[in-house]
Amino acid sequence: MTTPHDDPHGEDIRRAAALLADASYCIALTGAGISAESGIPTFRGKDGLWTKHGEPPLNQFDEFRDSPADWWRNVAERRRNPDELTASLVNAQPNDAHFAMAELERIGVLKHTITQNVDGLHRLAGMERLTEIHGNSRLLRCTQCTTRSPFDEIPEIFPPRCDHCGGIVKTDTVMFGEPIPPDALERCYRESSRADCVLLVGTTAVVSPAADFAFAVGQRGHPMIEVNLDPTVITQYCAVALHDKAGELMSRIAASVKELRGSGDQ
């Protein structure tokens, strides 16, 4: 017989699983913390990139607009001499938390995930009902028609042009000061407005508009569930808040949901 002492998260895992299993339209918001166990640094908190190096300048998108060709030369240079975040993205693989969320999507419990991460690991874990609100570092995007294409190598001409509309192409990653692509915003509004439960994994939930889509679900009186290493500003609003590593917690929550849903294949 396990006691709360030897399984401090057991009861909250069961409560979170029950809320997820009972929801008719659960969505998720994920952040850098879900990829921490894949070796990708987070931004805030004691080892965060912004904590160590300060936030990047807010004029990145202005620099792009002023001279897309010069901006692309800098991208080429950074690819040759990657910084800590870029280097960590290159070979990163999904971890147990990504696979647990993919399982919740597969069994129909998780209807959509909004991720703030640009690492593409949710896609690599097999998730499809996904909005990468801050873009995907493995893709390029036309600034006119938002057509996306693989970012396999540095283009030969600066700036590259869109094959469909001739617009200027940039990396899909959304820079500070850059508007969120309209197609991504529209999908987030649509998914957030129909949700009756929201799961937040690995995020401080301090960046808009991403965090707003999660808060909106809670503000309509629906349950918010937090899975995060540390307490955050949303902890106080959550029906359940689990504070430990996402890999183990999400795996246990997914297993518990499958038990409740009697989906058989454990």
- What is the contact surface with ligand APR in residues (CB under 6 A)? 31-33, 36-37, 42-45, 48, 116, 134, 202-204, 207, 228-230, 232, 245-246
- What's the residue count for the chain? 266
Nearest approach, Cβ of 11 to ligand APR (angstroms)? 19
Catalytic site includes residue 134 = yes
DSSP assignments along 139-181, one per residue: EEEETTT--EEE--S--SSSS-B-TTT-PBEEESSPPTTPPPP
Nearest approach, Cβ of 264 to ligand APR (angstroms)? 29
Which of 199, 255, 252, 204 shows the shortest CA–CA distance to 227?
199
Exactly one of 98, 112, 122, 134 is catalytic; name it.
Answer: 134
Kindly state the helix (H) or strand (E) to which residue 26 belongs, with its residue range.
Answer: strand 26-30
Nearest approach, Cβ of 99 to ligand APR (angstroms)? 14
Residue 62 phi, psi (nearest 5): -60, -40
Whose CB is nearest to ligand APR? 33
DSSP 126: T
Give the span between the Cα atoms of 99 and 250, in whole angstroms. 9
Nearest approach, Cβ of 69 to ligand APR (angstroms)? 25
Please identify every residue annotated as catalytic: 134
